[in-house]
Structure 1
């Protein structure tokens, strides 16, 4: 197969940092310079309002196929449907092909309440911390049919991790059973990787031959509301108060991913924290099973017909 190369980033959080537009511009210039086949952002892009219309337009005018995945904070001040329309997405979950690679954009942004699944909207998930991050029956059935309908290597993109129900989608084990049955049906490893944002960390683990790759944020590592550090000026801190609780990256983090018959290659990128690192602030220094680092590590993840190994 011809190698497929895509530029990948996550968690811009443009409303929460003073230089979000610069970070996005640098990523788009990188994708253009490296002639990426497509670009994709893994959620928490910006609030869906007119003040941010230029961000959505810049993404859509990237000069190559441009895709978005819904993040939980994309619905802080609006409905899910408003976020979908603002970001130019065809639906909350959907799929597309890039050469010989099939791509699925999944949506775990649902609450499991007594009356059934409910979309995230207007920050409602803040009120139900024990009910977060469900794919749901309808989406899982769609995913099963979508996978069965392709003969291509497949990558699943999501905001929250699909690796386990503790740190990601609560029904991730049901999704993995779909992967398992589809592999058995077609006699090979069809889903080669799942890639997520949300945790603002860099890391990879492998389960039943699938690489689960956590993609670091363009902007910062979030620590805790218990932490209070002034990293820029007092004026900037007052304008962007979440920076007291976060460890921002001096330069944006993003990567180019190449998929061949033999491997998934992830290009590395390093920067540094602005001010003290998370552990220096009293934070545990990890999230979602991966350490807090101001980098995306270079990786060569080998693909094998009988299942991948770390």
Structure 2
């Protein structure tokens, strides 16, 4: 596995531009004069943790109005699917004719169900496909139970039923594909059967443009067997846990929103625009910067996850990424 860290990626863009190994056979699947595809993406809003989740969503929607993407998508851990949150959920759903959802692990906390997610979010199914301007987006549900290696924590798995469905979709779809999941399929905190899923995706690398995920609240990118996996950072914070519990906001906010003390919040909402440009053969992920509110993970000496580090993957921004579709054999 080749890991591209933020610093080398940015330096590479400045110096020469980044060319990564994605087969250009996928370009042949676009029709002549194919349209650019632009997606407004936000993930891990955690409205039920943050005191200002609604304001963060509004910042995203303001950018959507300005950027005019072809669709918008929230990639999980959005807001509990219930009547209390219905105004916020409807605000998202009504902001664009095509508003898509991914189910996150926290969306079913406190007794909420996937059935409620489908109802309130207006999802067609827990995993599904959606075609936009000739690109097929495959949306997965990484919350399956039944992992033979899971010992504790939230389920993080693609079960046999969904795996067979994914294989069938990859076989039948003769269009460029973007794979979307909440839990990552590669890198930090990947699903339990990540190696198996990576093999399935790599077998269809001549169709897949990129795989994107939320969940980790980090800024990261890994390349495995000709598939680029990009972790989209959270709209709200990095979770540090009880060992690093601290107050970032005034006391009155923490009294009403106790879980914020387990996070290092971002001052501004993070989100991005993903643009697929067939004419130039590029995939562009828009960068967006913020700052920490209060103590940063580095100042707290956060060292809980060995594969990621403050100042590298743990940062209050989304890096600008330019992935160029180039000629390459599998």
Q: TM over 0.5, yes or no? A: yes
Match of 1:248 among 265, 269, 278: 265
- Does 2:289 align with 1:267? no
Q: Which among 262, 273, 277 is matched to residue 296 of structure 2?
A: 277
Question: Which of the numbers 148, 152, 176 marks the counterpart of 2:175?
Answer: 152
User: Displacement, 1:52?
Assistant: 0.3
Residue 26 (structure 1) shift = 1.3
Note closer, same or farther for the CA distance 1:256–1:131 as it changes in structure 2 (3 Å cut): closer
Task: State the partner residue of 2:193.
Answer: 171
C-alpha displacement at 1:173, in angstroms? 2.0
Distance 1:63 1:232, change over 3 A: same
Unaligned runs of 5+ in 2: 1-33
Aligned partners of 1:196 and 1:215 also within 8 Å? yes
Higher strand share: 1
* Shift in CA distance, 63/223, structure 1 to aligned 2, threshold 3 Å: same
- Tell me the C-alpha RMSD between the 2 structures: 2.1
When the two structures are superposed, what TM-score results if normalisation uses the length of structure 1? 0.88
Tell me which residue corresponds to 1:135: 158
Distance in 1, matches of 2:46 and 2:154, equals 23
Match of 2:107 among 63, 74, 78: 74
SS in 2 for 1:257: strand
- The whole-number CA distance in structure 1 between the counterparts of 2:154 and 2:268 is 35
The alpha-carbon deviation at position 129 of structure 1 amounts to 1.6
SS at match of 1:300: strand
Under a length normalisation based on structure 2, what TM-score does the superposition of the two structures give?
0.83
Check conservation: 1:208, 1:307, Cα contact below 8 A: no
1:268–1:299 Cα contact (<8 Å) kept:
yes
2:3 paired residue number: none
- Measure how far apart 1:39 and its partner are: 0.6
Compute the displacement of 1:303 (Å): 1.2
Equivalent residue runs for 1:55-204 within 5 Å: 55-77=88-110, 78-112=112-146, 129=152, 132-163=155-186, 167-183=189-205, 189-204=206-221
Question: 2:314 pairs with 285, 292, 297, which one?
Answer: 292
Partner of 1:209: 226
Using the TM superposition, give the Cα deviation of residue 64 of structure 1 relative to its aligned residue in structure 2, in angstroms.
2.8
5+ residue gaps, structure 1: 118-124, 184-188
Are residues 1:304 and 2:323 paired?
Answer: no
Q: Relative to structure 1, is the Cα distance of residues 38 and 286 closer, same or farther in structure 2, using a 3 angstrom cutoff?
A: farther
Deviations 1:176-228 (A, max 9, x none): 22223334xxxxx2112111111101111111111100001111111121112
**Equivalents in 2 of 1:253, 1:279: separation in Å?**
20
* CA deviation after TM superposition for structure 1 residue 148, in Å: 1.6
Q: 1:228-268 deviations in whole A, cap 9, x for unaligned?
A: 21111111112111111101011000111111231110111
- Is the 1:285–1:291 Cα contact (8 Å) retained in structure 2? no
Give the match's secondary structure for 2:197.
helix
Q: 1:220 aligns with which of 232, 237, 252?
A: 237
Alpha-carbon distance between aligned partners in 1 of 2:230 and 2:128, rounded to the nearest angstrom: 20
The 1-side partners of 2:203 and 2:292 are apart by 43
Give the structure 2 partner of residue 51 of structure 1.
Answer: 84
Asked which structure has the greater RCO (Cα within 8 Å, sep 6+), the reply is 2
Q: How much has 1:304 moved relative to structure 2? A: 2.0
Contact 1:221 1:292 (C-alpha < 8 Å) held by counterparts: yes
Q: Does 1:35 align with 2:57?
A: no
